[in-house]
A and B are shown apart, each in its own frame.
Chain A
C-alpha cells in the first residue's frame, strides 16, 4: 500500500484552527489503555514539541518577513496539535507513571529503529543508546514501587521487560565522547534521516520532561534520580542530534520535519487499537500533509531545489510499537560493556571516561544505585519483570 505524501493534499491551513471544544480532548484511562497507545501519544508529543522548537529557531534565523509569518501560521497549528496530543495523558496518573511510559517509549521505539536502520554506523548508535534507556526503566520502576506500591508491569503490561541494562552510573561519559559523526545527506537513505529525527525528538522531549518534573518530587531519592537521568538524557540528545548532517539547509530540514510527521501519524493511524485515538492520528495526518506541501513550496522557492530529490518516493514501512524482548536480550548479551571514545565505541574504560566517572561517582554512590539499595532495604529484593527467563548476563542476575 504505497502512500506518497507528496501527492496528497490535506486540510487547507485556514481550516486547521481548533476552538476550545475541539481542543478539550478526553484523556485515556491509565488502567485500561493499550500501553502502546500511551507510547504513541508520548512519541507524537515529542515530535510536535520538536516541530515547534525547530520552527522557532528557524524564525529567529530568518530575515524574510513573509516566511516568518508563514512559519508562525503553521507553528500555531502545531502548538494546537501538541496540546490535543499531550492532553490525552490523564491527570490521575502520577509523574512517575508517565515517566515509566516515557522509558517504555525510549526502549521499544529505539529498539525498533535499531532493527530497521539500514546504515551500520547509525544502527550502532541506536543499539548503544537503547541499552541505557532500558536500564533507566529498571531504576524508575524500583522507585515507583517504593513510592506508590505499584509494579511497573501494570504500566508496561508485560510488553517490555524490566531488568538491568548497561548500569546507569556508567552512562556519565565525557561530553566530547557523546558527539557522533553525522550521516551524509547526499548518500544517506531517506529512512535513516527519519529515524534520526524521530529518536532525537523523543529523547529531547524526555530530557525536557525530566528537567522540569524532577523538582516537583518531595522525596530526596526521587529528586536525585531525576537529576541523574535528566543529565543522561542530555547526553542522549547530543548523541542523536549529532547524527544529523548539519549541511542540510533550513528549508531542507523543515521539509524533513514535516515529512517525518506525516510518516509517524500515518504509521500510528495504521496500528492504533483505540478508534477514538486513531481518528486523532488521521486528522493530524491530514493537517501535516498540508504543512508538508507548504514546506516543499518554500524549499523550491528559496533553495532552488526539488524536495523530491531528498525525500523517499513513498512512505517507508509503518513504524511500529511492538515487543522487542529477544532483540534487546541479544544486545544486552553483546554490548553491555561498550562505551564511547571520540565518535566510535570501545570496550575498555579509557582515561577520559575514568576521569568523568571519578568526578561524578567518586564521592558516594550515584542516585541510580542508591534507589536500588533503598528498594532492597524496604522489600528485601529488587523490582524486575523478566518474562523471558533469567537475565542474559549471569553477573546481573538477582542474588
Chain B
C-alpha cells in the first residue's frame, strides 16, 4: 500500500500535456485505490475509501465537464457513444453515493464495493477504447493540452492524494458528501475553462 501511495505521489512529477494520458493514469490510480480499500481495515480503510470517493468524484466530474461534451461533437454518432458513457457514470455515481452513506466495516460494504469496482473498470476501458481513441485521432495537441489543464484544475481544487501527515482523515472527511464535492469540482473546472475562453 505504501507503494500505491508512491505511484500517485511520483505521478506528481509526471507532466501531462495530453488529457488522454492524464485520464488513463487516473484510471490506474482509481484501480489502485480500490486495491487499497480492499486490503486495509478500520480507519485505514475509511481513509482509503475517502480518497477513492474524492478521486472518482473529481475524475468523473472533470470528464463530464471537459471531455464528454467535446468528444460528443467529434464525429457522427459520437453523441450516442457519449450517452452510453454518461449512463454508466450516472449508475456509478448512485452506487458511490450509496456506499458513501455506509460504514466501510458494514458487512454489506465490500460486496457492493466490488460491484462498483467491476462497473468502474468496464466503464474506464470503454472510455479508453471508444472515446479516448477518437479524441487522440481527431483533437489537435493544443486542445488535448488545454483540456488537460482543466482536468488538473479540478484535481487541485479537491486534492485526491493528501500528503500523509499534512492532511489526515479529518481533512478527508471535511471534503463532504459526493454531490457537494462534485459541485465544487464543476465550479473549479468551469472557472478554468472560462479563463481559457
Contacts and interface: CB of A to CB of B under 8 A. Distances in A.
29 contacts: A29-B118, A31-B35, A31-B121, A92-B121, A92-B122, A92-B125, A94-B128, A145-B7, A147-B25, A149-B8, A149-B24, A149-B25, A149-B26, A149-B27, A149-B28, A149-B32, A151-B7, A154-B31, A154-B35, A218-B133, A218-B136, A219-B21, A378-B11, A378-B15, A379-B10, A379-B11, A380-B10, A380-B13, A381-B10
Given A92-B122, A150-B31, A379-B11, 11 more contacts: A29-B118, A31-B34, A92-B118, A92-B125, A145-B7, A148-B25, A149-B8, A149-B26, A150-B7, A154-B35, A381-B10
B3 interface: yes
Interface-central residue, B21, B24, B28, by most chain A CB under 10 Å = B28
Contacts of A149: 7-8, 11, 24-29, 32
A153 interface: yes
Given A92-B121, A92-B122, A380-B13, A150 B136 contact: no
A94 B136 contact: no
A148 to B, nearest CB: 4
Interface residues of A, number: 19
B46 interface: no
B174 interface: no
B13 A378 contact: yes
A91 interface: yes
Nearest to A154: B35
A182 to B, nearest CB: 44
A379 B13 contact: yes
* 6 shortest interchain CB distances as A-B pairs: A149-B28, A149-B25, A379-B10, A378-B14, A148-B28, A150-B28
Say which size band chain B's interface belongs to: 20 to 34
Interface string A24-36: 0000010100000
B184 interface: no
Contacts of B136: 218
B117 interface: yes
A379 B24 contact: no
A381 B6 CA distance: 11
A92 B28 CA distance: 13
Contacts of B128: 94
Contacts of A380: 10, 13
Contacts of A378: 10-11, 13-15
A29 B117 CA distance: 11
Contacts of A379: 10-11, 13-14
A28 to B, nearest CB: 13
Contacts of B26: 149
Interface in A104-154: 145, 147-151, 153-154
A148 B23 CA distance: 9
B78 to A, nearest CB: 18
Nearest to A145: B7
A91 B25 contact: no
A55 B114 CA distance: 43
B125 A91 contact: yes
Nearest to B11: A149
A378 B35 CA distance: 23
Contacts of A219: 21
B25 to A, nearest CB: 4
Nearest to A32: B114
Nearest to B4: A151
A75 to B, nearest CB: 32
Nearest to B26: A149
A63 B25 CA distance: 56
A150 B133 contact: no
